[in-house]
Amino acid sequence: MGQTIIEKIISNHSSQRVTAGDIAIVDVDLVMATDTTGPLTIKAFENMGGTKIWDPTKMVLVIDHASPAPNEGIAVLHDLMRKFATEQNIKLYDVGDGICHQLIIENQHVKPGQLVLGADSHTCTYGAIGTFSTGVGSTDLAGAMLTGKTWLKVPETIKINITGTLQEGVVAKDLILYLVGILGIQGATYQAIEFTGEVIERMTLESRMVLANMVIEMGAKAGLVDLKGLDLPYDYEILKPDEDANYTRIIDIDVSDLEMQVAAPHSPDNIKGISEIGEVQIQQAFIGSCTNGRLEDLHVAADILKGKKVHPKVRFIIAPASRQVFQEALADGTIEILSAAGASFLPSGCGPCVGTHQGIPGNGENVASSTNRNFQGRMGNHNSNVYLGSPAFVATAALHGKIVNHNLTTKEAIDSL
């Protein structure tokens, strides 16, 4: 029997050839923690009797979830992380540097075929470059810091083959929302997903990151995107699945008719086409997060908002995914366009997405957001409603003060105001 990609990666990191269902002890190439999970990780590491981590070059800490610190308690936790990083000689990304998953890819901390643990559920993002990366909790991460290893159950794999041509304005976010809708919030629990097909081959790295990022919204352990069509600036080996690899499911989808997709409150799998949503007034619009805060996302928003003003009753907030993204958007004029349209810029970080600070909605308010989760209370107020969609969905909603069918032309949309 042949192997899937994830079976190959896990085999390469363990002493045995594995297939789905096996339990394997594996070597870990990188571990990562944030300010939500890092302090507990450090505590667990010390409680295990840890003094020096197994390899300081293989750990990254990122202060991004509540950054800059919104209160004294969190400032103390940030300080604990900085001291640990200095003592252990670990790379730490500090306030404003960016969101962990963006920084890990941007600064080439991971490569295709590697095995990575991150104490953040969206660690699966690195599947965009063929890395097996998965989210764990603080204590599991501490175990890897101590031993350089972890244990894993080798997951089964679902193959998703995506063909056709996406319509104008329909992007990777719509595609992954559509898939979350089909498979459901636990449709891939304990499993890996392989994405392949001509639609994937035409995607940018940024768009591939969107796909891999949200596989956790189906419960998946990993989402590995076919490397075909991707040009990475270093040498790497491409792992391909064997022809006789075993899949639990093979899904073939032609996405040529797909319209813009939206996750309605209060679950990322409550997916509707934009034409089914009806009119929903919004009070806040947010573009950011590890899902959709990258340069191409800001470009889409700027194209929609150039020379216009967002609706006067909408608070339009943008948190670029990293300082590098911000600087590139500054250099090419994107920031100027968005600022003139009424956007407020936050430091790069996770804040509004995870309800920590900087953009908590009021009671009864509706938010259009480019993030990944809309569970009740996710953005910090359980009496608010979050609609998830692409950056184009958010920018269009910000412009009109309501969710607008993006399938209409801009002129029709303006006439309908």
Q: List the one residue from 58, 294, 373, 402 that touches another protein (CB under 8 A).
A: 373
Shortest reach from residue 122's CB to another protein, in Å: 9
**Count of residues of this chain found to bind another protein when the rule CB under 8 A is applied:** 55
Identity of the residue, 121 or 283, whose beta carbon is nearer to another protein in the bound complex? 121
Q: List the one residue from 52, 228, 313, 382 that touches another protein (CB under 8 A).
A: 382
Shortest reach from residue 221's CB to another protein, in Å: 6
Shortest reach from residue 9's CB to another protein, in Å: 17
- 262 forms bridges with which residues in the sheet? 272
Structure-block tokens of residue 406: 């993006």
Identity of the residue, 373 or 400, whose beta carbon is nearer to another protein in the bound complex? 373
Stretch that binds another protein, among 43-51, 198-206, 239-247, 316-324 (CB under 8 A): 43-51
Secondary structure of residue 316 in the 3-state scheme: strand
Q: How many Cα atoms sit within 13 Å of 298 on the Cβ side?
A: 30
Identity of the residue, 88 or 374, whose beta carbon is nearer to another protein in the bound complex? 374
Stretch that binds another protein, among 70-78, 294-302, 312-320, 325-333 (CB under 8 A): 70-78
Number of H helices and E strands in the chain, helices first, is: 14, 18
Instruction: Say whether residue 37 binds another protein (CB under 8 A).
Output: yes
Instruction: Say whether residue 181 binds another protein (CB under 8 A).
Output: no
CA dihedral 105→106→110→113, nearest 10 degrees, is 60
Structure-block tokens of residue 232: 């990475």
Q: For residues 248-307, which are near another protein according to CB under 8 A?
A: 267
Distance CA 115, CA 145 (A): 14
Identity of the residue, 229 or 377, whose beta carbon is nearer to another protein in the bound complex? 377
Identity of the residue, 2 or 21, whose beta carbon is nearer to another protein in the bound complex? 21
Give 387's contacts (C-beta < 8 A, 6+ positions apart): 262, 263, 264, 265, 277, 280, 282, 366, 367, 368, 369, 374, 393, 397, 403
Q: Which long-range contacts (CB under 8 A, 24 or more apart) does 354-360 make?
A: 354/36, 354/65, 354/378, 355/379, 355/380, 355/381, 356/65, 356/66, 356/70, 356/380, 357/66, 357/70, 358/70, 358/317, 358/319, 359/284, 359/286, 359/315, 359/317
Instruction: Say whether residue 394 binds another protein (CB under 8 A).
Output: no
Cβ contact 386:392 at 8 Å:
no
Stretch that binds another protein, among 41-49, 87-95, 164-172, 197-205 (CB under 8 A): 41-49
Angle, to 10 degrees, between the axis of helix 295-305 and the axis of helix 205-213? 100
CA-to-CA dists, residue 108 to 30, 105, 123, 210, angstroms: 11, 5, 14, 17
Stretch that binds another protein, among 103-111, 181-189, 293-301, 391-399 (CB under 8 A): 181-189
Q: List the one residue from 15, 89, 151, 309 that touches another protein (CB under 8 A).
A: 151
Instruction: Say whether residue 44 binds another protein (CB under 8 A).
Output: yes
Identity of the residue, 311 or 357, whose beta carbon is nearer to another protein in the bound complex? 357
Q: List the one residue from 82, 153, 308, 323 that touches another protein (CB under 8 A).
A: 153
Residue written as tokens 């920084």? 103
Shortest reach from residue 101's CB to another protein, in Å: 12
Cβ contact 33:117 at 8 Å:
no
Q: How many Cα atoms sit within 13 Å of 406 on the Cβ side?
A: 27
Q: For residues 75-114, which are near another protein according to CB under 8 A?
A: 77
Question: In the complex, which residues of this chain contact another protein (CB under 8 A)?
Answer: 23, 25, 35-37, 39-40, 43-44, 47-49, 65-66, 73-74, 77, 118-121, 123, 135-140, 142-143, 146-147, 149-151, 153, 185-186, 189-190, 219, 221, 267, 354-357, 360, 373, 375-378, 380, 382
